[in-house]
Amino acid sequence: MSTGGDGTQGCPPRRCGPNLRRSNLLIRLLVIANLILATLSLAGCHQASKHSEQEATAKSGQAKKITICLLPKIKGISYFSSCYKGAMEAALELGNVELIYDGPTDGDPKKQAEMIDQWVVDGVDAICVSPNAPDVVATAMAEARAAGVKVITWDADSSPASREFFVNQATAPSIGGGMVNAMIKDLGPEVVGDVVIISSDATSANQNAWIDEMKSTLSKSKLKLATIKYPGENASNALADAMDVIKKYPELKGIFGISSVSFPGAAEGVEQMGKSGLIMVTGLSTPNDMKSFVKKGTVKSVILWNTIDLGYLTVYVGDALVRGTLKKGMTTLPAGRLGDKQIDGDNVMLGDIMVFTKDNIDQHNF
């Protein structure tokens, strides 16, 4: 073995050179391998992070912010206020939805049309309309569509050309037939006599569709439709109409109040005339508005649907339409806590009617 000039031991040149080269090569390979592993690890972390961000974005609704307008027939009554409650729930749940709720306080359809025109100027994304008079509002709705705004109807429908979808609370046969069947049950199937319908406006498309179904069902019963009254969306007028028909028709057995305003007005009229329990009243209104009448026996059955769910579903439909996840030809639509809702043509169906009686009315708060 040789000794270096500094007194250290060396190795033979022929044996030391190749060993050093091999060692250096191995070190270089190990360094390269570690660099490759580190790069792959970082790339994997980046992809996982990106996937997590995308998943979180989808779940939290972090798409572009949109504005949805909810237009009731009349603002300030409990029916539509409860719809707004459900609509706000859906907007908060979806995220990135600004919800505007406004409408005429007197039910004037011309004011509805004016609001639609203004919202188009404001550049909103969707307008959800419960038209009080479809013929009056349809032009403004069609113009909104032409301007690129998504337009749907809810609670009450308009002409199909003026909107893309209708959020339908229940079918006309189930609502109209349901009210008549409730009246027959409450009076007793053998009772013979007159009944009266107190509607809202003569131009209300949904009420008119229900009336057609009521006439059909009544024609198979022992009850005779004496007249139809149109007090508008005015409880005082409905009360006056109820008192008037009680005086006019001595064989009157029942009154239908087929709007959330006319039903409590008609019930109040029956009570004021001292006919509670003698002339039965049934119709459509919220449980909260009718609880006192049910507990006094003036009303036995209240027909409706879940108005909170109706507002909730309406916002889900508006959001899906704007974002492109709702298209013509689809048969179902995912709607949050409501699950998948059926689409029948261009009608997104909420479900069926509910019947509230003294046995279950306290279980509902809307």
Predicted confidence (pLDDT) at residue 10 exceeds the cutoff of 50: no
DSSP code at position 232: -
Please report the pLDDT score of residue 63 as a whole number: 76
Contact 237, 231 (CB under 8 A): yes
Closest CA to 70 of 13, 136, 125: 125
| β-bridge partners, 340 | 334
User: Average pLDDT, stretch 39-49?
Assistant: 47
What single letter denotes the amino acid at residue 221?
S
Distances 118 to 87, 91, 121, 139, 203 between C-alpha atoms, Å: 21, 22, 5, 14, 24
Summarize pLDDT for 124-173 with one digit per residue, the tens: 999 999 999 999 999 999 999 999 999 999 999 999 999 999 999 999 99
Identical fold for domains 66-170+308-350 and 172-304, yes or no, is: yes
Arch. (CATH architecture) of 66-170+308-350? 3-Layer(aba) Sandwich (3.40)
Q: How many helices (H) and strands (E) does the chain have?
A: 10, 14
Summarize pLDDT for 229-257 with one digit per residue, the tens: 999 989 999 999 999 999 999 999 999 99
Q: How far apart are CA 285 and CA 196, in angstroms?
A: 17
What single letter denotes the amino acid at residue 73?
K
pLDDT band, residue 214 (cuts 50/70/90)? very high
Summarize pLDDT for 66-101 with one digit per residue, the tens: 999 999 999 999 999 999 999 999 999 999 999 999
Please report the pLDDT score of residue 334 as a whole number: 98
Predicted confidence (pLDDT) at residue 183 exceeds the cutoff of 70: yes
Homologous superfamily of the 172-304 domain (CATH) = Response regulator (3.40.50.2300)
Contact 104, 111 (CB under 8 A): yes
Domain ranges across the chain = 12-60, 66-170+308-350, 172-304
Please report the pLDDT score of residue 34 as a whole number: 57
User: Average pLDDT, stretch 184-209?
Assistant: 95
Please report the pLDDT score of residue 134 as a whole number: 93
Predicted confidence (pLDDT) at residue 347 exceeds the cutoff of 60: yes
- The pTM score is 0.81
Predicted confidence (pLDDT) at residue 362 exceeds the cutoff of 60: yes
Rounded to the nearest 10°, the torsion over CA 351, 357, 360, 366 is 60
Q: How far apart are CA 202 and CA 228, in angstroms?
A: 10
Predicted confidence (pLDDT) at residue 192 exceeds the cutoff of 50: yes
The tokens describing 222, both together, are 């022992």
Closest CA to 283 of 295, 275, 296, 293: 293
Contact 153, 163 (CB under 8 A): yes
Q: What percent of the chain has pLDDT over 70?
A: 83
Please report the pLDDT score of residue 232 as a whole number: 93
Predicted confidence (pLDDT) at residue 107 exceeds the cutoff of 70: yes
Please report the pLDDT score of residue 47 as a whole number: 47
Contact 218, 195 (CB under 8 A): yes
Predicted confidence (pLDDT) at residue 15 exceeds the cutoff of 50: no
Mean residue pLDDT of the chain comes to 88
User: Average pLDDT, stretch 293-317?
Assistant: 97
Closest CA to 67 of 99, 37, 93, 35: 99
Give the total residue count for the chain. 366
Please report the pLDDT score of residue 59 as a whole number: 47
